[in-house]
Chain A
Amino acid sequence: MPRIFGHNLLIFVLAGLAFYIFGFLMYGVIFGEYWMRISNVPADFSPPAWKMVLGLIIPFLPAAGIAMLANKLGKSDLMGYVKLGALLAIAFSVTAMAYDYAYSPAYNLRMFVMDSLHMIAGFAIAGAVLSFGRAK
């Protein structure tokens, strides 16, 4: 089976899917109403189909990045992957959103905190799944 940055392809796919499903649960099932309220996104808002497809593809990119760096670092333990994912989320994803929070009044603190938690946990989850696909 082909490998993605030294990781099993199936495990890599599962890692991306896990990140996506976590986002779906967080913004849909668990905090859906709360999210709609704080973000002023109408309840009937639904992105067009191409954006939904893009939304499904996007989680695989951070998963690829985590796999690339974990492979370079020779990570093999679960906690190592989780920490790497969380660290990358804080360094690059949260900071990207923080610029919006700093300079755009429309992006309020509650949205920023929720999005940040989503990214940190999502990256960590993707990392955790990837830890099971490392080449021996």
Chain B
Amino acid sequence: MEIYGISIIAVLLATLSFMIVGFLWYGPLFGKRWMALNGFTEKSMKDTNMAVVMGKGITNSLVAAIGMGLVLNWKGAEGLLASMKTAFLVWLFFSATTALLAHIYEKQKLKLTLIHFGNQLAAYLLAGRFSASSDPDQRCLLAGAHRFAISIAHQRAGLAQLVEHLICNQGVGGSSPSAGTTLHRVHSWHMVYTSDRAKSVTP
């Protein structure tokens, strides 16, 4: 199924990849440093309204994924190299410049800007890859990589099962929770994880 020439499945995959990269980036990989640079504490993390945060995160990812799909269509990018090159240019021209402006004019710390840079670049490249993918086998292969990463990170099967359903078994329903519930849980894990990590950075 397509809208404006963009596969809805590809958009969902790209959205999911934004979320997963964000989770890994600001959780296991750079969560501790990100919290310290922002001055977050365990209390401030607990005070966060998870539903609101989650809603904003999904909306952001969805909009960026749709944009990526449109640009890849406009550029006629096909194949791994072309789609990732386009994704890189999109990041360089539009996303990186935005982050740089925050560093220059809003006194955002350079280390924080670099963390955002890395997250956005990784997410764009992965989303670009998914948005351009039309080969179901390749999608399943990439889904397998995601599944592995998630399983390692959380030792939980729920999201991995969801990814598998989204990518390879669209016709199968009923055995995995809804996307909203599961994704909410992902970010809840993220916040719990970072909250736990906060204990080690809070004086």
User: What residues of chain B lie closer than 8 Å to A92, measured between beta carbons?
Assistant: 64, 67, 90-91, 94-95, 98
The reply to whether B90 and A45 form a contact with Cβ atoms under 8 Å apart is no
The reply to whether A95 and B63 form a contact with Cβ atoms under 8 Å apart is yes
- Please give the number of chain A residues whose Cβ is less than 8 angstroms from any Cβ of chain B in the complex: 41
Among A61, A72, A101, the one with the most B-chain Cβ atoms within 10 Å of its Cβ is A61
B101 on the A face (CB < 8 A): yes
A76 on the B face (CB < 8 A): no
B38 on the A face (CB < 8 A): yes
B100 on the A face (CB < 8 A): yes
A96 to B66 Cα, complex, angstroms: 14
Q: How many A-B residue pairs have CB under 8 A?
A: 107
Tell which of B68-76, B132-140, B163-171 binds the partner.
Answer: B68-76
CB contact list, B64-88 vs A, under 8 A: 64, 66-68, 70-71, 74-76
The reply to whether B107 and A45 form a contact with Cβ atoms under 8 Å apart is yes
A97 to B63 Cα, complex, angstroms: 13
The reply to whether A91 and B38 form a contact with Cβ atoms under 8 Å apart is no
User: What residues of chain B lie closer than 8 Å to A102, measured between beta carbons?
Assistant: 53, 56-57, 60
A34 to B59 Cα, complex, angstroms: 28
The reply to whether B53 and A91 form a contact with Cβ atoms under 8 Å apart is no
The reply to whether A91 and B64 form a contact with Cβ atoms under 8 Å apart is yes
User: What residues of chain A lie closer than 8 Å to B61, measured between beta carbons?
Assistant: 95
B179 on the A face (CB < 8 A): no
A6 on the B face (CB < 8 A): no
The reply to whether A69 and B92 form a contact with Cβ atoms under 8 Å apart is no
A103 to B91 Cα, complex, angstroms: 20
State the Cβ distance, A110 to closest chain B Cβ, in Å.
13
User: What residues of chain A lie closer than 8 Å to B53, measured between beta carbons?
Assistant: 102-103
Contacts A64-B93, A90-B67, A99-B22 given; does A119 touch B56 at CB 8 Å? no
The 10 closest A-B pairs by CB, nearest first: A91-B67, A65-B93, A92-B94, A102-B56, A95-B64, A96-B98, A93-B98, A98-B60, A96-B95, A95-B60
Which residues of B are in contact with A by a Cβ distance under 8 Å? 22, 26, 38, 44, 53, 56-57, 59-61, 63-64, 66-68, 70-71, 74-76, 89-107, 116, 120
Which residues of A are in contact with B by a Cβ distance under 8 Å? 27, 39, 41, 45, 47, 51-52, 54-55, 58-59, 61-62, 64-65, 68-69, 72-73, 87-106, 111, 119
